[in-house]
Amino acid sequence: MKAVQVSYPNVVMSNDAGAPTSRGERKIGQSLWRGFRGRCPNCGQGKMFYRYLKVNDKCPVCGEELFHQRADDAPPYMTIFVVGHIVGASMLFVEEKWPDAPISLHIAIWPLLTIILSLTLLPMMKGALIGYQWALRMHGFDDAAEAEKAPAE
Ligand SMILES: [Zn+2]
């Protein structure tokens, strides 16, 4: 395993699959990938979403709290960015290779491709972002926040 230490404490960038890392290091690459696949960033087994974009409060397998996520409107921005580049480049490519393509073909393909790609990528982007937030212990994903919630003596 080759890991690159970044400036965040207890965070290692890696794509290696491994055991749950809730209390120790949280691998950014692994968390991104697990979230991208709609899985819990902690165990990689439990489903992150109980409906299309609705995030489970807790992982159904390991119990990791997922309600701390604050994806907000970042996933749509990222989806638009990616889909826009794919569809825009594809339109230019087709126009370049087949300049006499009928306009009805363009009307049939590009809106449909845009809708399919957007609806497919949106939960993937949201999952990856939540995995990223979890790995960086953003918002309530921090163990320290858990400790602060505990009653003081
Ligand atoms: Zn889990």
Question: What was the pLDDT predicted at 9?
Answer: 47
CA–centroid distance, 47 to ligand 1, in Å, is 8
CA–centroid distance, 69 to ligand 1, in Å, is 14
CA–centroid distance, 43 to ligand 1, in Å, is 4
Cβ atoms of 136 and 21 within 8 Å: the answer is no
Question: What was the pLDDT predicted at 90?
Answer: 96
CA distance linking residue 13 with residue 112, whole number of Å: 36
DSSP 41: T
CA–centroid distance, 31 to ligand 1, in Å, is 11
Q: Beta partners for 3?
A: none
Report how far apart, in Å, the C-alpha atoms of 38 and of each of 87, 122, 151 are. 24, 11, 34
Domains of the chain: which residue ranges? 4-148
CA–centroid distance, 98 to ligand 1, in Å, is 48
Question: What was the pLDDT predicted at 3?
Answer: 57
> Which residues, in sequence order, are CB contacts of 48 under 8 Å at separation 6+?
35, 38, 39, 40, 41, 55, 56, 59, 66, 127, 130
pLDDT truncated to tens, each residue of the chain (153 aa)?
A: 555 544 454 444 444 444 444 457 899 999 999 999 999 999 999 999 999 999 999 999 999 999 999 999 999 999 999 999 999 999 999 999 999 999 999 999 999 999 999 999 999 999 999 999 999 999 888 866 555 555 554
Task: Residue 66: name the closest of 78, 75, 58 by CA.
Answer: 58
